[in-house]
Amino acid sequence: MQKQQWLKQMPPQERLLFAKVLDAAKSSQKNHKKTATDFIDKGKNGIFLEKAKYIRDLNVMAFGGNADCERRMLAFAPDYMDLTEKDFPIKAIHITKNKKFGQADLTHRDYLGSILALGIDRSKVGDILLLEEEAICYIHEELADYVCMALQKVSRTNVKASVSDVFSVALPQKQWQQRTITVASLRLDAVAAAAFHLARTKMQTLIAAERVQVNWSTVTNAAFLLKQEDMISIRGFGRVKLFEIGGVTKKDRICVIVGQEK
């Protein structure tokens, strides 16, 4: 592992965090066991994941509690060991509020602030999902029981918290607004430009600036070829999913179906 060389390539504000990622990878190699980092935010996660893929004789995987989580852990295992989502030390905390006495609408900031006020470090907390009947917080398993016991209020609202396995969480099915577009090729810059209504030169600039991710991994190659089911995310613009690759028009353009969350 070229730890020092990789750290020099990282912006100064990211070096300490990436050093911890490399330490987790080194521990997995040295001790022949599975290891995991804390939660890492979406932008850094993609960058670190791409770097970690070049570590020899090591499997690497990212997961945050469900397939769409933006804050995710990185897990490592020797290449002779299988690595699955069940290897991540993540639990789901279900937070329900007393509707009769308290604020009608609690925000993401309200939930996060109340959890961090318990003395929890931000790196131990993943995504927080606001559902109709409850909020779901993904958290490091070592803190799940403590949060359930200690969290009694969110803002000024009384709440109850319980913990479950992340795979037992029932999430509402996402609704997508789909549309058909035609593109010159399946290159990232071509598809993303059409999907986000941007000029292709603008898209190439965004890609070069490391603001574009495919399946939560940063891609800096504008000619990267997309495939069906790929998720394209652009910092500051949102994300779209490539649902279907169709046929070719008379003008030799490719029909594709893309969708954005409603």
Instruction: Report the pLDDT value the prediction gives residue 2, as an integer from 0 to 100.
Output: 58
Task: Spell 187-213 as b/e; 16+ CB within 10 A means b.
Answer: bbbbbbbbbbebebeebbebbeeebbb
Round the CA-based radius of gyration of the chain to a whole number and report it: 21
Sign of CA dihedral 198, 204, 207, 208: negative
Mean pLDDT, residues 110-125: 96
Share of the chain above pLDDT 70, in %: 93
Instruction: Report the pLDDT value the prediction gives residue 100, as an integer from 0 to 100.
Output: 67
Residue 21 gets the label, from left (phi > 0), alpha (psi -120 to 50) or beta, of alpha
CA–CA distance, 219 with 114 (Å, rounded to integer):
35
Question: Has residue 102 got a pLDDT over 70?
Answer: no
With vertex at residue 204, the alpha carbon angle to CA 223 and CA 175, rounded to the nearest 5 degrees, is 85
The gap from C-alpha 124 to its chain's centroid, in whole angstroms, comes to 14
What dihedral angle (degrees, nearest 10) is formed by the CA atoms of 54, 60, 66, 68?
A: 0
Domains and CATH numbers, the chain: 3-87 (3.30.1370.160), 90-168 (3.30.70.330), 176-261 (3.10.290.10)
Instruction: Report the pLDDT value the prediction gives residue 218, as an integer from 0 to 100.
Output: 80
Question: Has residue 1 got a pLDDT over 60?
Answer: no
Query: Predicted confidence band at 217 (pLDDT cuts at 50, 70, 90)?
Result: confident
pTM of the model: 0.74
Concatenated DSSP letters of 162-197: EEEEGGG--PPPP-EEEEEEEES-SBHHHHHHHHTT
Instruction: Report the pLDDT value the prediction gives residue 132, as an integer from 0 to 100.
Output: 82
Mean pLDDT, residues 97-103: 68
Mean pLDDT estimate for the chain: 89
The pLDDT tens digits for 156-179 are 899 999 999 999 998 887 788 999
CA–CA distance, 58 with 1 (Å, rounded to integer):
11
DSSP state of 79: T
Mean pLDDT, residues 37-61: 85
The pLDDT tens digits for 6-19 are 666 666 667 778 88
Query: Predicted confidence band at 133 (pLDDT cuts at 50, 70, 90)?
Result: confident
